[in-house]
Amino acid sequence: AQSVAQPEDQVNVAEGNPLTVKCTYSVSGNPYLFWYVQYPNRGLQFLLKYITGDNLVKGSYGFEAEFNKSQTSFHLKKPSALVSDSALYFCAVRDIDSWGKLQFGAGTQVVVTP
């Protein structure tokens, strides 16, 4: 079975500081990993994905993620956080044995203070 874990319920960071949201995964075979963001009363918005290739993946709104096979991690990063980045972030893995359904982590609430 494939799964992802997000070890932090909440991350607090000051505006302008680097932001990191952690995700570890457990898969059989090659992982297909995703990050989504959810703002209040809105659906999930796609940020970026790792399928294959470069370990550093660049996505929307200045976010990037680093795939680390040896540590089975896929941490989301942003060099300089904005107050508007405050939201709920989900890591997900695509189940390769099914029709593409996503398995999500529990989510990490990011709070960026001015």
Among 28, 41, 52, 70, binds other proteins (CB under 8 A): 41
Range 80-109, binding other proteins (CB under 8 A)? 90, 92, 94, 98-107
Binding of other proteins at residue 25 (CB under 8 A)? Answer: no
Tokens representing residue 63 in the block: 């976010």
- Cα end-to-end distance, the chain, whole Å: 41
Range 62-81, binding other proteins (CB under 8 A)? none
Cβ atoms 43, 51 nearer than 8 A: no
From the CB of 40, what's the least distance to other proteins, in Å? 11
For other proteins, which is the closer residue by CB, 42 or 79? 42
Binding of other proteins at residue 36 (CB under 8 A)? Answer: yes
E strand spans, 1-78: 3-5, 10-14, 19-21, 24-26, 33-38, 44-50, 56-58, 64-68, 73-78
Binding of other proteins at residue 40 (CB under 8 A)? Answer: no
Residues 6+ apart with CB under 8 A from 10: 108, 109, 110, 111
Contact set with other proteins (CB under 8 A): 34, 36, 41-46, 49, 90, 92, 94, 98-107
